[in-house]
Structure 1
Amino acid sequence: MRERARLVISALSAALIACLGLVLPADAATLPSPVSCSGCWKPALNTSWQWQLSSVPSAPYLDVAMYDIDGFNATAADVANLHSSKSGRKVVCYISAGTYEDWRSDAGDFPSSVLGNNLDDWPGERWLDIRQYGGTLGTILTKRMDMCKTKGFDAIEFDNVDGYTNSPGFPLTATDQLAFNTWLANEAHKRGLSAGLKNDTDQLKALQPYFDWALNEECWTNDECTTAQTGYGYDKYVAAGKAVFNVEYTLSTSKFCTKANAQNFNSLKKNLDLDAYRVPCRGV
């Protein structure tokens, strides 16, 4: 009887999904439910910002609504100064979730079993076996999230969350990446922190319910910004009320700003080392 009831419920769920026109990935049923965070910051669709990782910003600060800065290098005082210098400004904590960085203060905590291949062009950085987030790796990453919370950040930018599309040295699958990325977003929400999805363009659809906003590098260069280009693009995030932040490194602003503004993206031209240089597509 219980099995019969389960089958009926499954059939009804499938019918409802079909009626709503949703197409879920084959592994979506294995994903956890999104952790709600009513108090988390949800950036407005039009949000001016600066992304500066090579150094900690210092006064005088730009008149922007959001700064995205390195979570390790910034102190609690740095975050407080950014908050106090402009009413309502939010500060995002950048951490790498998918790679080991040999210069970080917690580098010695990583067991050798989670360390994979070196990243091309990024000395001292290695891919992680994200399948092990249920053990020591998860403890390390939650400590990083706690660091962001303690320093007063409002949100987290999780970097390198698309290892399965690279050569990490482990047989990572799309399912592994989805499990890891949803875990990251849920853990951020448990701490009252907004979660930003960095790249991972192939999984935008499945991850949209979990993340509060998205940050992309070079989607105009790679023709992967919009649904018309990829089948499910960042325009869908905007339609869902979730802000999209985009950076281009090599294109001139004349090649992408008009298109970005039309899509209501918050796009910048930046240097690859993410220093203070920026050219916004919008006025600020």
Structure 2
Amino acid sequence: MIEPFFKGGGVIRRFIGFVILVAAALVGCAQEDDPAPRTGSSWWRPAPGQVSDWDWQIDQPYDLSARRAMYDLDLFDLAPAGSRLRYPDGEVIEVPAGPLAHMVESLHARTPRPIVICYVDTGAYEHYRPDAHRFPGHRKRVAALPNRPRPPAPGSVIGWDTGWDGERWLDIRASSRGAFAEVIWARLDLAKRMGCDGVEPDQNNPLGNDPGFAITLADQHSWYREVATQAHARGLSVGMKNGHDQPGSAAALVDVFDWALPEECAEFDECAELDVFIDRGKAVFAVDYKGSVDPAAACRLHRTHNFDGLVKDEPPTAAYRTRCRN
């Protein structure tokens, strides 16, 4: 209880109470679509509802004219001319300028300043990337890479196709990842130099997706943790991309990630697996795809779980976007 300083101190008490209420209201307003980092962290850690107006575009056509609080865009498409990937053995790889070159700086120059998340494959080999030759097992022609039912070549870390053209699962087992990990960390270094606020590391969930290697849940969890640790070591925010299809995985990994980006949780009735992120005060940027779900039904489910959801085209471009949170 606040003691009055003079007769009529109830006025002071009422005034102080009013100030506290106003301050609380301002904090609440700031959380809605305010992309500023949360207190106590050196990287971006969004709360549920803090960034409800966001977009995810990792393929053309692009359109970034609409002002969003957060954009999730492909790392290599954002690369400006003169970008380089550097490795401990001294090799330097020139990265071609992408179609969104210098867009990180352009977006950051807006007021209010939006968050820019850079999408990057950390669990898959992409034959079309400038660093593809760094992965053991690389071949000049993607058709020369063994694919199911042929086993991967001895010593290769490149497995079977992920379902995307030119993309293959990596052998993320602890006994194999040392052969390619420095390639992934060089991508994170590039993201840091380019000014990305965080990364969306993709394709770390080969389990159940026929990768060509005998990967266990323990392998998958430890690789997720290593990727998150390496991102944080560079001061980058990092989200758990997928992996929620394995029951209990989100609960096992929530402590090392700052947010989550699950695909198709409404379509496959898996959204409840991500509730642990919401319970910990961490945003879930759920995405389902038009043509596979009814957008209205998917959005209702996203809102039920307090997710900051979207319904997008597949792969996500500027061509279609339904925002699920008002």
Using structure 1 for the length normalisation, give the TM-score. 0.80
Rounded Cα–Cα distance in structure 2 between residues aligned with 1:186 and 1:210 = 7
Residue matched to 1:80: 105
Is 1:178 matched up with 2:183? Answer: no
SS at match of 1:269: strand
The answer to whether the Cα contact below 8 Å between 2:172 and 2:220 also exists between their aligned partners in 1 is: yes
Rounded Cα–Cα distance in structure 1 between residues aligned with 2:199 and 2:61 = 16
Residue matched to 2:322: 279
Rounded Cα–Cα distance in structure 2 between residues aligned with 1:220 and 1:183 = 28
Instruction: Assess, with a 3 A threshold, how the Cα gap between structure 1 residues 86 and 44 changes in structure 2: closer, same or farther.
Output: farther
How much does 1:262 deviate? 2.6
RMSD (Å) for aligned C-alpha atoms: 1.6
Residue matched to 1:267: 309
Residue matched to 2:44: 41
The answer to whether the Cα contact below 8 Å between 2:124 and 2:169 also exists between their aligned partners in 1 is: yes
Stretch deviating more after TM superposition (257-266 or 96-105)? 257-266
**Paired residue for 2:258, among 209, 212, 221?**
212
SS at match of 1:79: helix
* Structure 2 counterparts to residues 78-117 of structure 1, below 5 A: 78-112=103-137, 113-117=156-160
Residue matched to 2:279: 239
How much does 1:85 deviate? 2.0
- The amino acid of 2:70's aligned partner reads M
- The amino acid of 2:269's aligned partner reads D
Is 1:192 matched up with 2:232? Answer: no
- The amino acid of 1:251's aligned partner reads V
Rounded Cα–Cα distance in structure 2 between residues aligned with 1:75 and 1:104 = 12
Instruction: Assess, with a 3 A threshold, how the Cα gap between structure 1 residues 85 and 138 changes in structure 2: closer, same or farther.
Output: same
How much does 1:282 deviate? 2.1
Rounded Cα–Cα distance in structure 2 between residues aligned with 1:187 and 1:59 = 29
Q: Which runs of 5+ in 1 are unaligned?
A: 1-36, 227-232
Residue matched to 2:197: 154
Rounded Cα–Cα distance in structure 2 between residues aligned with 1:119 and 1:59 = 28
Rounded Cα–Cα distance in structure 1 between residues aligned with 2:196 and 2:130 = 19
Where relative contact order (Cα < 8 A, 6+ residues apart) is larger, the structure is: 1
Q: Which runs of 5+ in 2 are unaligned?
A: 1-39, 81-101, 138-155
SS at match of 2:296: helix
- The amino acid of 1:278's aligned partner reads R
SS at match of 1:266: coil
Q: Between Structure 1 and Structure 2, whose CA radius of gyration is higher?
A: 2
The count of corresponding residues between Structure 1 and Structure 2 is: 239
How much does 1:136 deviate? 3.2
Residue matched to 1:51: 56
Rounded Cα–Cα distance in structure 1 between residues aligned with 2:176 and 2:261 = 23
Residue matched to 2:33: none
Rounded Cα–Cα distance in structure 1 between residues aligned with 2:176 and 2:283 = 28
- The amino acid of 1:45's aligned partner reads P
- The amino acid of 1:252's aligned partner reads D
SS at match of 1:234: helix
How much does 1:45 deviate? 1.2
Give 1 or 2: higher helix fraction. Answer: 1
SS at match of 2:240: strand
